[in-house]
Amino acid sequence: SSTLLYHTLTRTRATPTKDFFGIAPGFNEDLVLDSSARQFLSINGYDTTATSNLVSYLPGSRDEVKSIQHLFASTAGSIGRLLYDDSLILLDDNASEFALKEVGLEDFRYVHFATHSFANETDPKLSGMLLLPGSGEDGEDGILHSGETYSLRLNADLVVLSSCDTGVGQLSDGEGIMGLSRGFLSAGAKNLVVSLWPTDDIGTKYLMIEFYRRLLQGQSIRDALRKAKLELINMGDVIAKPYFWSPFIQIGV
């Protein structure tokens, strides 16, 4: 409800002790999805009759998360990196739903998801983000459903949902958009960066790297995102087209 969201956004927030967490499954070509994930994809309009390659490979997402981690390490400097480890990334086979839920997300100031996501505007409960299944014994199907995001514990200044359609959902009278973004706000995120339509793997990589570069220079989220978009425009050629830089917006204060 609106009252719940208000209290969530105004509650006393703990101070994060670490800087950056990022997760990027990458979805290599030999990925085999379990039956739950295949059913989830089918409900969201995917043809699941193929035996492999149900979702596209996302090499840019892996490079995106690794490059952002490097930006944080560079900002800390050599002494800072020796004194403390303030970032964590989960890539490829390590980027499972079970591994995500084992991380103390409340410790991180910036939380970054780079993966496939699906917005179901008919039934928001069927929206979700695709990660990897675990061992089969951990009870996780590899899908972070929108309903599960409410139970995440976050103190983040910023959560970035770097994938398709993460800012859309069902419009509910008196409640606003019901979708992935709502759950992350209720879980404690102060700000979100989300997309309003499908995104491009490589274009998004460049945009996010430039965005974090500017954040770490002390720019506000709004200014950093705007200037990152201008940087892609200034690159010219194909990547200057709005399709590559325009989907992402900020939600928050």
65 close to 112: Cβ distance less than 8 angstroms:
yes
0.85 surpassed by pTM: yes
Which tokens sit at 77? 């400097």
- Residue-level pLDDT at 175: 60
163 close to 117: Cβ distance less than 8 angstroms:
yes
Which tokens sit at 198? 């499908």
117 close to 164: Cβ distance less than 8 angstroms:
yes
- Residues 190 and 180: their CA atoms lie apart, in Å, by 15
Q: Which one-letter amino acid corresponds to residue 20?
A: F
Q: Which one-letter amino acid corresponds to residue 152?
A: L
- What pLDDT band is residue 233 in, cutting at 50, 70 and 90? very high
- Residue-level pLDDT at 125: 84
pLDDT (tens digit, 9 = 90+) per residue, 77-86?
766 665 556 8
